[in-house]
Amino acid sequence: MITVLVVDDDFMVARIHRGFVDRVDGFEVVGTANSGDQAVAALADLAPDLILLDLYLPDVFGLDLIARLRAVRPDVDILVITAAREAEAVRGAVRQGVVNYLLKPFGFEDLRIRLQEYARRRASVPDQVTSQADVDRVLAPTRQLVNRLPKGLSQETADLVAAALRATPDSLSAAECAEKIGISRVSARRYLEFYAAQGRTEVTLRYGTTGRPERRYTWRT
């Protein structure tokens, strides 16, 4: 369970955000704060994994607060939720390594997608990185459209492939997946590789057979 602290100067807005977060599986709000000072105190007290941070606070600008929060707990993650549209605000937030930057007003789905993406990424960091490729995976994962697929892929087929992957406890090759669903190997491979790029599947190679090794895909829970 990922624990969350909600920070927003507006009491009602904080309440709404709290409701949103609690509706997402795997997330739990452990507290709310309405000012920078309250946020620092709550962080020290509750030790949440993630902070939902509004930038417009009565006592301090949110971006200037992040350093103080990090001083209290260096390992806390921050997701900015604000109406601030200045380029400097976005840049400053990115520079401080925020998990995401969500513009108000937003719907439940917008937040849910970003929270789930954060959870996935959080779980997928290996204990030890061995190659630069591992690092790149951490740096540049699925920030892209979780709901919108790239050109040439359809939602229906994507769902079929995902279902087939979930249905098999062990791994699937592109050819096996194609056979299972009833589509061509090329299409199956395209969707499987898409999921792999998103980090939703794990790819292993099967050696031993003569010929080129086989890529086998496993759904990542």
Partner DNA sequence: GGTGGTTGAGTTCATTGTGGTCACAGGCGG
Partner DNA sequence: CCGCCTGTGACCACAATGAACTCAACCACC
Binding footprint of its own copies on the chain (CB under 8 A): 67, 70-71, 74-75, 77, 85-87, 90-92, 94-98, 100-103, 106, 110, 125-136, 138-141, 143-147, 154-160, 162-163, 166, 181-184, 187, 203-205, 207-208, 213
CB closer to its own copies, 13 vs 76: 76
Beta bridge partners of 205: 215
Chosen from DNA, its own copies, none, partner binding at 170 (C-beta under 5 to 8 Å by type): none
Residues 134-153 that bind DNA (CB under 7 A): 151-153
For residue 108, count other CB atoms closer than 10 A to its CB.
Answer: 13
Interface with DNA (CB under 7 A), residue from 38, 190, 201, 219: 190
CB closer to its own copies, 11 vs 85: 85
Cα gap 7→147, rounded to integer Å:
27
Interface with DNA (CB under 7 A), residue from 12, 87, 139, 205: 205
Name the phi and psi angles at 75, rounded to 5.
-100, 15
Contacts (Cβ under 8 Å, ≥6 apart) of 73: 43, 44, 47
Q: Taking CA 205 as the corner, what is the angle to CA 138 and CA 178, rounded to the nearest 5 degrees?
A: 100
Cα gap 161→153, rounded to integer Å:
11
Chosen from its own copies, DNA, none, partner binding at 140 (C-beta under 5 to 8 Å by type): its own copies
- Beta strands 77-82; 100-103: pairing state: parallel
* Residues contributing to the site for DNA (CB under 7 A): 151-154, 156-157, 173-175, 182-187, 189-190, 193, 205, 207-215
